[in-house]
Amino acid sequence: MVTMAHSSLIAILPGDGIGPEVTAEARRVLEALGLDLAFEEAPVGGAAYHQTGNPLPEATLDLAKRADAILFGSVGEPSCDALARHLRPEQAILGLRKELALFANLRPAKLFAGLEDASALRPEVARAIDLLIVRELNGDVYFGEKGMRTTDAGLRQGYDLMSYDEGEVRRIAIAGFAAAQRRRGKLCSVDKANVLETSQLWRDVVIEVAADYPDVALSHMYVDNAAMQLVRDPGQFDVIVTGNLFGDILSDQASMCVGSIGLLPSASLDEGGKGLYEPIHGSAPDIAGQGKANPCAAILSAALMLRHSLGQPAAADRIEAAVASALAAGHRTADLGGTCSTKAMGDAVLAAL
C-alpha cells in the first residue's frame, strides 16, 4: 500500500464496450475528492487490438507496472470473436493478472437499502446479504495447459488442465482468513473435494492454514451446495474463499442476489497490496455508447482502490456512502428499472458526495 505523501498515479484502462463510459464516471468521482491523484490512460482489449494488433500492448503494460493502482473498465468486442485465442480482448486481463502477479480477487456483495425489489430473492432474504468472495486468480483451468486435438477415433477433443500447487492455495487461504478477521470472523472454503484431486489439496491446505487463525471459524462447502445456499440463505456467509473457476461463477450469481451485476466492484491484489480495480460486469456491447450502463460498480471499484492500494479508507467510505445515498434517493439506471443515464447516475453520486 502506498502513502499519499506524493501524487499517486492511477492507470485508467477503459477497454471495450461500456468500459469507457463507466470508468469516466469513476474518474469524475475520484477527481471530486480533492486528493493528490494523477491519471494516465491507455488502450486495452479489443480497442488496443484494433490500434496496435495486440490486446495488451507493451506501452499499456508498462503504464500498469508504473502506476500505484489500475482502474480497469471491461474487455470484449464482438468484432474480435474470430481471432486466434491469444489475440482476443480477454487475454488482456489474463495477461495483466499474470504480469502483475495479481492473485487475490476480492468481490464484495451487499444489498443497498431500497433495492430489495431489484433482487431475484425475497426481500427478507436479500436484505441479509453482506458477503465477500475471495477468488484465487492465477491458477485453475484458466491458466492450465489447454488445447484441441483429434482422438484415435477421429473425434475432436478439447482439454483444459485444472491444477493448483500448495503454495498457490496457501497464499489465497491466508488472504481469506485475513479478510475474515477484518469482518465477522467466518470463512467458508468452497471446493469440490468429493470429486477433484485439485480440490482435495485445496481443502487440506486451507485446514493447515486455519491453525494460524484460531479466531476465525472455518467451514467447508461443495461448490454445487454453495450455489444453492447463495439463493436459499445468503446471509449465512461472511467470507467465501475459492478457486478461480468457482469464484468466477459464484460472484456473478451473487450479483443477481443483490439486484444487478452493475453494482458489484472488485479488487485484484498482489502480495504487496498493489491492485487492479474493475466492475465485475462485462463490456455489454449491446448497450455500449448509449448511456445506459450503470456506473456504480466502477465507482465502487474506485472506492476499493482508495481503501486497499492508496491508503485512503475515509475517502473510500465517502464514495460508498454517496452511492448508497444516491440509490436510496431513487436514482436508478435501466438495469435497476430506472431511467437515469450513465452520466446522470454519476451526477447523482457526485451530488451525494
Judgement on whether residues 3 and 97 belong to the same structural domain of the protein: yes
Q: Which residues are catalytic?
A: 142, 192, 224, 248, 252
Final residue of a structural domain among 207, 226, 257:
257
pLDDT band at 58 (very low <50, low <70, confident <90, very high): very high
The structural domain count of the chain equals 2
115-119, 122-126, 154-158: the lowest-pLDDT one:
115-119
Do 75 and 169 fall within a single domain?
Answer: no
113 within a domain of the structure (yes/no): no
Task: Give the mean model confidence (pLDDT) for residues 30-44.
Answer: 97
Does 231 reside within a domain? yes
Q: Where are the alpha helices (DSSP H) in the chain?
A: 19-32, 46-52, 58-66, 90-99, 123-126, 166-182, 197-210, 223-232, 244-257, 296-308, 313-328, 342-352
Q: Are residues 87 and 6 in the same domain?
A: yes
Tell whether residue 288 is among the known ligand binding residues. yes
- Residue 63 or 117, more confident: 63
Q: Which is higher by pLDDT, 66 or 258?
A: 66
Tell me the residue length of the chain.
Answer: 353
Distances (CA, A) of 258 to 118, 145, 168, 329: 7, 35, 30, 17
Residues 232 and 303 in one domain: no
Q: What is the CATH number of the domain that holds 308?
A: 3.40.718.10
Is pTM beyond 0.85? Reply is yes
Give the domain-ending residue among 257, 290, 321.
257
- Binding site annotation covers 207? no
The verdict on 253 and 328 lying in the same domain is no
- Check pLDDT > 70 for residue 6: no
Residue 314 is labelled as binding a ligand: no
77 and 28 assigned to the same domain: yes
* Shared domain check, 243 and 182: yes
Please say which residue of 201, 234, 257 terminates a domain: 257
What is the three-class DSSP state of 47? helix
Structural domain for 288, as ranges: 1-107+261-353
